Amino acid sequence: MAGVYGEIDSRATYHRVLGEATEYVRGILNQRPDHPTLQRILKELGTMKRWTENGREPRIAERASVEVGLIAARELSGATQKEGLFIEKLFALNNYFEDWPTDEDAASASNDDFNDSQ
Q: In this predicted model, what pLDDT tens digit does every residue of 5-64 receive, in sequence order?
A: 999 999 999 999 999 999 999 999 999 999 999 999 999 999 999 999 999 999 999 999
In a domain, 111, yes or no: no
Considering the entire predicted model, what is its pTM?
0.85
Q: What is the dihedral of CA 61, 70, 83, 28, to 10 degrees?
A: -60
Q: Are 75 and 36 in contact (CB under 8 A)?
A: no
pLDDT band at 1 (very low <50, low <70, confident <90, very high): very low
In a domain, 95, yes or no: yes
Judged by DSSP in three states, 41 sits in: helix
In a domain, 2, yes or no: no
Say how many domains are in the chain: 1
In a domain, 113, yes or no: no
- For residue 52, give its domain range: 11-101
In a domain, 84, yes or no: yes
